[in-house]
Amino acid sequence: MAPMALMAPMANGRILPPKLVLTLTHACNLRCPYCPLVKSAGSMKLEVAQRAAELFFARHPGHGNTVKFFGGEPMLSLRIMRAILPRLRDRYVGKGLKFFVSTNATLLNRSAVRFLQRYPEIETAVSGVLEPRTVLSLPNFHVNIPIPPHLAHKLGEYVARLLARGIRRLNFLPAYYLRWESSQLKALERDFRVSAGLIARRRRRGEAIEVKNETNWAPTPLYNHGMVVGPEGDIYPCNLVFAEHFSHLRSRLRLGNVLESDSIDWSRADDVRYDALIRDALPRDVYRSTYAVDRHLTRFVEALA
């Protein structure tokens, strides 16, 4: 997640590139206390994924599009990825199509790794590094660094360990939509400074350290915008509706369903004020914490410039 000004309007002078976000499942094999997503069983059917792709590329026939596979834990639905990805790659060859999958890495068995190795155009975002050799064998990956409040004081130490293991592409994900104590926010600010120093020193030595937060941008912290498709085929302009604090907004932000294309109202995605939605949905202390966390992430990125 890239930093943003939480109170800024959605447009903010930037144009987001076309993005299809396939939420393959709401299920997950973990229950991380800082994860805001609502978990439930069920997976996307191949028919839904295919129809979503057809609609997306009919609306965005140009170059440079991105297809993201999300969850829950998308590796629980690896079968769908195996089926849909080669079809998309072959059909839209020469279009500069990029793929992205975000995983907690616990299900990266040999079969999953071999699949990802066959498709170097898939950028794999790995949350945590349980087995560095497995992750380093992937042709195109970066490591997500979740930062829950109680571990903010360990961030600098963890970044140093990742760099020592040869990890050179990082994405920092402080826990949004939670209440942070003032001491935890101070620890986050301090360890962001430590992390920025570690990265800067290695860069001065000529090492190519990529921090995804320096180039990514989104109108809302953590969540993806674009054509977001849920497992049942419902379409939304942003996947924040899959989080606990914002699940009541599903009917308000639902554009339609990919299996009922004639009734999709794409205009409902226009002029959504996400900053107001977030402010109204969150308890005041959680909103203030989210704003503070995002401010510290922004300053961290500015320190890397």
Q: Residue 75: pLDDT above 50? A: yes
| Structural domain boundaries enclosing 36 | 19-304
User: Is residue 3 assigned to a domain?
Assistant: no
d(CA 183, CA 188): 9
- The dihedral built from the CA positions of residue 293, 295, 296 and 301, taken in this order, carries a sign that is positive
258, 59 in Cβ contact below 8 A?
no
Q: What is the pTM of this model?
A: 0.91
Average pLDDT over residues 114-138: 84
User: Is residue 12 assigned to a domain?
Assistant: no
Average pLDDT over residues 48-77: 93
CA dihedral 65, 144, 177, 219 (to 10 degrees): -30
Q: Residue 5: pLDDT above 80? A: no
pLDDT more than 70, % of the chain: 93
The number of helix segments (H) and strand segments (E) in the chain equals 9, 10
Q: What is the pLDDT of residues 282-296, one digit of tens each?
A: 999 999 999 999 999
User: Is residue 2 assigned to a domain?
Assistant: no
User: Is residue 5 assigned to a domain?
Assistant: no
Q: Residue 252: pLDDT above 80? A: yes
Report the length, in residues, of the chain.
305
Amino acid of residue 208: A
pLDDT at 292: 96
* Mean of per-residue pLDDT scores for the chain: 90
User: Is residue 7 assigned to a domain?
Assistant: no
70, 22 in Cβ contact below 8 A?
yes
User: Is residue 4 assigned to a domain?
Assistant: no
pLDDT at 3: 44
Give the total number of structural domains in the chain: 1
User: Is residue 13 assigned to a domain?
Assistant: no
CATH code, domain with 179: 3.20.20.70
User: Is residue 255 assigned to a domain?
Assistant: yes
Q: What is the pLDDT of residues 37-52, one digit of tens each?
A: 999 999 999 999 999 9
pLDDT at 14: 55
Q: What is the pLDDT of residues 100-111, one digit of tens each?
A: 999 998 998 899
d(CA 126, CA 39): 19
Question: In a 3-state reduction of DSSP, which class is residue 66?
Answer: strand
